[in-house]
Structure 1
Amino acid sequence: MSAYICVVVLTVSALGSSTVASELLKRPTNVRLTSHNMNLVLKWDPPEGTTSDMVYTTMYRSSATDYRIGCSNISSFECDFTALKISQYGNYTGRVQALLGEESSNWVESNYITLDTDTVIGSPTVSLSSNGPTLEVTIQDPVLSILTLRDVYNGVTYNITYWKKGQNEKARSIANMQQNRVVLNDLGPRTKYCVQVQINTDKNRNPSQPSNITCESTANEQEAPWVAALVAFVIMAVAVALLVVVVVYWKSISQFLCPKDALPPHFESLLAHPKSNIYLQLSPAEEICHRCSIIAGDRTVEEGDPLEAAGSSCSQQPDVIVEER
């Protein structure tokens, strides 16, 4: 009996010591599950006296599943569950636990959210174009983390607010517009107007975040929007045509702009082949040769014979007769 009592006492003391050890590590605070544009993110604040070695583990579950691990041993103060195959119509909650070495805090539960009804829808993108005294408003839905806005919600409408720039107190509104292209035709010519848009859905209890304020000026009634486009087209066509002409006729254009040096016409005539009869008469005539024989005494020296052969005869007979043939 005494042994049984000892076992019970030891067990109770062990459980008490483990509880005290776990309570020594403080829990995270302000744990909340959030959603913006259909994502799912668990956020929290660190406990007091947090050190750089403290890490966190998170879990999440839906109304149809048990808890699953989200992030393990992270040092940041949020965990994104979006990539873990969540459903756009699911009901989710999360929890987080602080870890420091061998110690761990108790789990801290977050709030519940239903994704399609509680998510915060971001602001749409608005662009304006002037068409005479009217403005065309084009609205682009925000990009969601899963699917598209119209895949999640069947009924999507727009609230459009517009006013003259500087006259916000006189703003006018168009509610529950289903088209994402709207023409504002009750405007004055040559006046700057500003536009802001919010999205309403059939399931989400809150409207979207408002768009940025976008401003544009109207034009006169006589001015057509195609006039500026036509002028721009003509200018571009002329520029392209000039470029083509320059490329094709570049050689001729360059020679015209930068001609090479040329001799005057009377200098060029000096370089030509002379055709004057006077020049031809002054030019050296062709040399005419006649066959001749040299007779020295009784010996005749024919042309082509060596002159040395008649040398002794010429010295003895000074009279030499040259006879042409």
Structure 2
Amino acid sequence: MRPAHRQLLPLRSPCWPRPHRQQHGAVRALPAHAQSFGASGNGAGTGSAEGRVQDGAAAMVVGVGCAAVAALLSCFLVVLPLRCAGQTDLKSPQDIQVYVVNTNFTLRWNYTGNDTNVTFSAEYRWFESSDTNEKVRETEWKELSGCQNVTRTECDFSSAVTKYYDEHEVRIRAERGEELSPWSSIFEMTPYAIAQIGPPGVELQSTNGVIKIKVSPPEANQVRKMWIADLRFKYILVIWENSSNPEVRSQSIFPTDTIDDLAPDTTYCLKVQATIPLEFQEGLFSPIFCVKTTRKVNDLLCATNVRILALNMKFHLHWNSQYKQHVSYNVQYLSGYRKTLHDDYSTEWLSVPGCENITDTQCNFSSIISTTPGLYYLRVQAMSENNKTCLSNEVKVDPLRTNEIGPPDVKVDISDVSLHIQISPPGGSECEVMRDHYDLSYRVLYWKNSSNNEEEVKIKEVKQTIATVSDLTPSTLYCVKVQAFSEVYNKSGDYSKEECIKTPGDKSLPLIILATFVTALIAVLLVAMPLVFGLYQIYNKIKYVFFPSCQPPLNIEGFGGQVFNSLYLSTTDEPIENCSIIEAITEEVNQIDFKDYKHSKQSSRDSGTYSNDSDTSGSKASEETLVKEIV
């Protein structure tokens, strides 16, 4: 490593004479007069010369002392930078990173200096935490084992860290001999939080057209483990055909599993990854393994097309038989959790009760299905008369997902204009699994049953087993069907049979008619009464004028017609009567009687019965006529 070059400034002291520069920077040590002790001249001159010599000697002594001090100071200042150069010139490492795979710890950094023969050393400390995840105690800085005096820009310190859940701090510096760089920035980490899952172990076996695979945990056979529970691991298989244009497929597998649906005599390559889904952790893939498949032996004894039919938690296993001779079957099952273990489960298969040594090609295995959710695996073992056996492919049963929801039973009733629907859950009320685990809801469809095909189908969803539909049209035939469904499992069942019922007539119609009639009657009365009253008044006036109710006095009763005819009503064509003169003997009328008549008439007129002018004029005319007749 090259030392740093520093420029030292010349020191000037009060006791140091200013140098006289010459060409090439020569300096004269003494003045010219100090070099000559001249003999010429008088004594005075000699005395003066001696004084000058003494002064020059003193100046030389002082100059030599100052030069010595300056030389020592210059040497001190020159040596001091050289001793501190290691701490100021070496650069600190940068970009500190820690990589953790399982329990393997690697420290990496960058160094931008051009110095040679540089080594690196690291220190660490951690904070011991309590149950509340609070920092309790900070430890002292310690040398990081595996990262002392390393020449590369990375080191392995797996043996130094044992507290995987505590917070750690790491720092590093560069060194060259006794020269030390400043410490780098501190890198903080919690091992478990930054750890990555390592690749799992993989074993393969190609047999009878399938590939059997066995996966071991990433930290198998290790004393120190970052991942304590192996059961949390889920394994992802990526497999493809070793060809120019491979189709890559990915699937989840168990620690011990079988890969089927492969082409015979074909080379497949695969790799496996371990994951912890609950913590969203994805590990590193295993190395790539390639294996060639074999041809599958077609054994007619084996059961084929094994399938499951399940309705309302009633499970049946069906299969096909190709064997023409006598054969018996034994249905076996395995609890799904055993496949998540890394142990051998080949001896854990059990026989289904009631499905042992049967000759039929179906079996009811509802008895093994527990009310607790879980997976099951089933297979069929075929046995010939000579005790030859053959195992079918396995089928997986997830009861609550494999099961199909059947149609519910429905009863309908009507009241007024409301439709009441009573629903019985699929499987009956005694089926607790259907009721409790599925958390069923019901979709009610109802519509008018008419010849109009465009009638709208209305939908109503309910959680209860009783539904009410209102706002129906009276005297109308309605039809209903119900479907059960589960939002949790995203499953819908079949619809029930259609149930139809007719709504009753509208009982409020007579009341409406009666109310309308009463209202109309009241309106008519309110209008007719004033009209009748007005007509009655007009009738009275006419009757009063043309048909008075009072009678005229007796003394003028005989003249009414003539008076009326002659005075008030003039006819356009008066009839002419043929009269004959009859001679009559007239008696003299007592003048007194006439006067009495006139007086009576006058009194009658004054009584107010006929008080109008027309009556008066009529009376006068009658009187004149009467006088003429008498005469």
Deviation at 1:72, TM superposition (A): 4.1
Confirm or deny: 8 A CA contact 2:86 2:178 kept in the other structure.
Answer: no
The one of 259, 262, 278 aligned to 1:184:
259
Deviation at 1:206, TM superposition (A): 4.5
What are the ranges of 5 or more consecutive residues in structure 2 without an aligned counterpart?
A: 1-80, 129-137, 300-631
Pairs within 5 Å for 1:1-325: 22-52=87-117, 54-64=118-128, 65-66=138-139, 67-70=141-144, 71-143=147-219, 147-148=224-225, 150-151=227-228, 155-166=232-243, 169-175=246-252, 177=253, 179-202=254-277, 205-222=280-297
Query: Which whole-Å deviations, capped at 9, do the CAs of 1:173-217 have from their partners, x for residues lacking one?
Result: 213x4x311101222333322222111125765422222222222
Provide the TM-score with structure 1 as the length reference.
Answer: 0.54
Confirm or deny: 8 A CA contact 1:38 1:146 kept in the other structure.
Answer: no
CA–CA distance in 2 between the matches of 1:23 and 1:137? 59
Query: Which whole-Å deviations, capped at 9, do the CAs of 1:148-195 have from their partners, x for residues lacking one?
Result: 4652665111001222221665222213x4x31110122233332222
CA–CA distance in 1 between the matches of 2:184 and 2:225? 33
Confirm or deny: 8 A CA contact 1:123 1:208 kept in the other structure.
Answer: yes
CA–CA distance in 2 between the matches of 1:123 and 1:116? 17
Confirm or deny: 8 A CA contact 1:128 1:136 kept in the other structure.
Answer: yes
Tell me which moved more, 95-104 or 143-152. 143-152
CA–CA distance in 2 between the matches of 1:183 and 1:149? 29
Counterparts in 2 of 1:56 and 1:171: CA distance versus 1, 3 Å: closer
The secondary structure found in structure 1 opposite 2:228 is helix
The secondary structure found in structure 1 opposite 2:87 is helix
Deviation at 1:61, TM superposition (A): 1.9
CA–CA distance in 1 between the matches of 2:162 and 2:95? 23
The secondary structure found in structure 2 opposite 1:117 is helix
Confirm or deny: 8 A CA contact 2:218 2:274 kept in the other structure.
Answer: no
- The one-letter code of the counterpart of 2:88 is E
Query: Which whole-Å deviations, capped at 9, do the CAs of 1:252-277 have from their partners, x for residues lacking one?
Result: xxxxxxxxxxxxxxxxxxxxxxxxxx
Counterparts in 2 of 1:108 and 1:169: CA distance versus 1, 3 Å: same
CA–CA distance in 2 between the matches of 1:150 and 1:49? 42
Confirm or deny: 8 A CA contact 1:153 1:203 kept in the other structure.
Answer: no
CA–CA distance in 1 between the matches of 2:277 and 2:230? 7
- The one-letter code of the counterpart of 1:180 is P
CA–CA distance in 2 between the matches of 1:217 and 1:74? 46
- The one-letter code of the counterpart of 1:38 is T
Deviation at 1:140, TM superposition (A): 2.7
Tell me which moved more, 130-139 or 147-156. 147-156
User: Which structure has the greater CA radius of gyration?
Assistant: 2
Deviation at 1:94, TM superposition (A): 0.7
- State percent identity of aligned pairs: 24
Counterparts in 2 of 1:69 and 1:137: CA distance versus 1, 3 Å: same
Confirm or deny: 8 A CA contact 1:36 1:122 kept in the other structure.
Answer: yes
Deviation at 1:127, TM superposition (A): 2.6
CA–CA distance in 1 between the matches of 2:148 and 2:287? 38
Deviation at 1:69, TM superposition (A): 1.8
Confirm or deny: 8 A CA contact 1:61 1:93 kept in the other structure.
Answer: yes
Deviation at 1:143, TM superposition (A): 4.1
CA–CA distance in 1 between the matches of 2:255 and 2:173? 45
- The one-letter code of the counterpart of 1:157 is K
CA–CA distance in 2 between the matches of 1:49 and 1:150? 42
Partner residue in 2 for 1:242: none
CA–CA distance in 2 between the matches of 1:28 and 1:42? 12
CA–CA distance in 2 between the matches of 1:213 and 1:160? 11
Counterparts in 2 of 1:47 and 1:190: CA distance versus 1, 3 Å: closer
CA–CA distance in 1 between the matches of 2:100 and 2:244? 35
Confirm or deny: 8 A CA contact 2:236 2:250 kept in the other structure.
Answer: yes
- The one-letter code of the counterpart of 1:60 is Y
The secondary structure found in structure 1 opposite 2:187 is coil
